[in-house]
Chains A and B, each alone.
Chain A
Amino acid sequence: METSKSQAVQDYEKLVREISPKSAVLYNSVKAFFVGGTICAAAQLLYNFFEGRGFSRDDTGLLVAAVLIAAAVLLTALRIYDRLAKFAGAGTIVPITGFANSIAAPAIEHKKEGMILGLGAKMFVIAGPVIVYGTVTSVIVGLIYYFMK
């Protein structure tokens, strides 16, 4: 269990090392800028679309996130997202689509290890730490906000 889990992390890190050769930081940054910027600009078009239909700010945010996540999962299942990531590096990792990819890709990859400890557990190999530290930080923020109000 423990060894196969670290294997999944190693696979992910190996993939990203392939994505980002150190010799070409500037070139990688330019690619990340244009791909990441394009994803965000497309998301803004979605915001404008949903807001124009009278959705509240919160609902619009959720709908946009849902569309981006669904699209990223679909592109992951079709093996397109990982190919795009080889080109764009952080441009496809930093947006919320990269987070969705980090959930779908290991779920697909590790299904063969079983539905529970394969698919179910490996799904969170990257997302898990993000949720853990995000939640802990949000509790600290909430406590400080409560006592300073």
Chain B
Amino acid sequence: MNIIFWSFIIGGLMCVLGQILIDLTKLSPAKILVFFVVAGCILGGLGIYERLVDFAGAGATVPLPGFGNLLARGVKRAVDERGLIGVITGGFTAMAGGMTVAIVFGYLAALVSSSGMKD
């Protein structure tokens, strides 16, 4: 139960950070998403982000820095298993499942939707 509470708080705060960046800077949302993923990947590489995951669960993994952390975890594991080869396979392997779901569902949704219809 506690972890659900902290998921809410930490996940909410990550979104507040994103909202403040959107409102107060000239950064476009695409730049902010890139910033979040890169920041999460660096914090994941340093082993810091995992502590937030232990404590906040989905509040840390579901926002986009969690995607960056997933890449960092994947590349570290791949390096452990395969050495230098893991450097070029780890990131893509870690995102493979999520990206495939997003691409296939996105593709199917576009196939069945009519693009002229807005609201």
Contact = CB atoms under 8 A, between A and B. Distances in A.
Interface of A: 9, 12-13, 16, 20, 22, 25, 28-29, 32-41, 43-48, 61-62, 64-66, 68-70, 73-74, 76-77, 79, 88-91, 93-100, 102-104, 107-112, 119, 123, 125-127, 129-131, 133-135, 137-139, 141-146, 149
A117 B113 CA distance: 17
Main secondary structure of the interface of B (DSSP, over half): helix
B18 A96 contact: no
Interface residues of B, number: 81
Given A61-B70, A119-B110, A94 B24 contact: no
A41 B52 CA distance: 15
Contacts of A144: 45
Interface of B: 3-5, 7-24, 28-30, 32-34, 36-38, 41-42, 44-45, 57-59, 61-64, 66-68, 70-72, 74-76, 78-79, 83-84, 86-88, 90-92, 94-95, 97-99, 101-103, 105-107, 109-113, 115-119
